[in-house]
């Protein structure tokens, strides 16, 4: 990479000067600066394809400052698929088709696609939770069998739109995060009212339904396990690296979406699974940071 091409554009959704994950992007900017790479944040809707210039934001002197940048050579795509993605999709696709730009990764279309791919692994399929496209019939069946269910957007991040629905004596409790990422808890007395709530909450979006999993340590701290698989030369997958992430101890399980802490974990060390057949060459290149 030559000196004038050492630039990385973090592509995300911006509303004016507002965009999420500023702390994370600040760290990437500072890390890039140490290695001679200029990092800036931009919206795909702010690209001028005729001049190949981009309006965006760069972290300098302790603040995010607006500026105009040459088209970056590398793009880190953080425009996650969601209900507003259609407003960005034409611009993203045009950038993806630009021969002078390298995308660090191409996201999958959603959780259902990932689940369908994992089901093709004879080793992983027995460990996957039952997962269905959300209908009220599927939700009702999950509640009848397991007593509690999770509904989640097929495309989404940060726990936005994820809801736990639990049967209790005399009704149901729905707790989760709404589209504005605000936590809520609602008591619903009747099945018909539960159906009305789910219909309204999921309107215009595709959701999945799964049994609610009790992913807590013995002291009640929520956790998850991350597995990193890196593709090396000759398209062979390298060794697994796994770690655990702990959330804040709280009665509200979805608080895990914020404030978590990484921990070294030995959970998978004795039962690591071969992964060369899990994601065959279909998803293409991908990358992760952090």
What domains lie within the chain, and their CATH numbers?
3-103 (3.40.50), 130-211 (3.30.1490), 214-290 (no CATH)
Q: Is residue 196 helix, strand or coil?
A: helix
Q: Looking at residue 250, what is its pLDDT?
A: 46
Burial (CB count <10 Å: 0-12, 13-18, 19+), residue 30: exposed
pLDDT tens, residue by residue, 254-288 = 434 444 455 554 444 444 445 445 554 455 555 55
Q: Looking at residue 17, what is its pLDDT?
A: 83
Please give the distance of CA 167 from its chain centroid, rounded to a whole number. Answer: 28
Which letter does DSSP use for residue 139 in this model? H
Q: Which residues touch 263 (CB under 8 Å, ≥6 apart)?
A: 243, 244, 245, 246
Is the CA virtual torsion 220, 263, 225, 174 positive or negative? positive
Decide: 67 and 38 in contact? Cβ < 8 Å: no
pLDDT tens, residue by residue, 198-213 = 999 999 889 999 999 8
pLDDT tens, residue by residue, 69-116 = 999 999 998 887 665 677 888 898 899 999 999 998 766 668 898 899
Q: Looking at residue 46, what is its pLDDT?
A: 94
Decide: 216 and 222 in contact? Cβ < 8 Å: yes
pLDDT tens, residue by residue, 119-157 = 999 988 998 999 999 999 999 999 999 999 999 998 877
Helical segments of 120-209, H only: 136-146, 191-201
pLDDT tens, residue by residue, 143-195 = 999 999 999 998 877 788 999 999 999 999 999 998 888 899 999 999 999 99
Q: Looking at residue 272, what is its pLDDT?
A: 46
Q: Is residue 232 helix, strand or coil?
A: coil
Q: Looking at residue 224, what is its pLDDT?
A: 72
pLDDT tens, residue by residue, 31-73 = 999 999 999 999 999 999 999 999 999 999 999 999 999 999 9
Residue 149 to residue 130: CA distance in whole angstroms: 11
């Amino acid at each position: 990479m030559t000196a004038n091409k050492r630039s990385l554009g973090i592509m995300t959704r911006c509303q004016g000067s507002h965009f999420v994950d500023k702390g994370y992007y600040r760290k990437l900017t500072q890390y890039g600066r140490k290695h001679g790479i200029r990092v800036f944040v931009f919206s795909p809707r702010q690209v001028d394809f005729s001049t190949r210039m981009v309006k965006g934001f760069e972290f300098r002197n302790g603040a995010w400052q607006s500026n105009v940048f040459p088209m970056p050579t590398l793009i880190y795509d953080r425009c996650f698929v969601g209900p507003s993605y259609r407003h960005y999709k034409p611009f993203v696709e045009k950038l993806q088709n630009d021969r002078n730009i390298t995308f660090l990764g191409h996201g999958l279309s959603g959780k259902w696609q990932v689940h369908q791919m994992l089901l093709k692994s004879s080793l992983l399929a027995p460990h996957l939770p039952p997962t269905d496209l959300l209908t009220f019939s599927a939700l009702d069946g999950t509640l009848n069998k397991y007593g509690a269910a999770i509904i989640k957007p097929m495309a989404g991040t940060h726990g936005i739109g994820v809801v736990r629905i639990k049967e209790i004596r005399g009704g149901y409790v729905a707790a989760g995060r709404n589209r504005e990422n605000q936590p809520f808890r609602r008591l619903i007395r009747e099945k018909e009212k539960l159906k009305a709530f789910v219909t309204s909450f999921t309107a215009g979006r595709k959701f999945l339904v799964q049994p609610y999993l009790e992913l807590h340590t013995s002291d009640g701290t929520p956790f998850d396990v991350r597995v990193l698989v890196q593709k090396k030369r000759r398209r062979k997958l390298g060794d697994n690296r796994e770690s655990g992430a702990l959330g804040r101890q709280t009665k509200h399980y979805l608080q895990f979406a914020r404030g978590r802490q990484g921990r070294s974990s030995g959970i998978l060390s004795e039962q690591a699974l071969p992964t060369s057949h899990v994601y065959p060459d279909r998803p293409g290149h991908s990358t992760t940071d952090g």
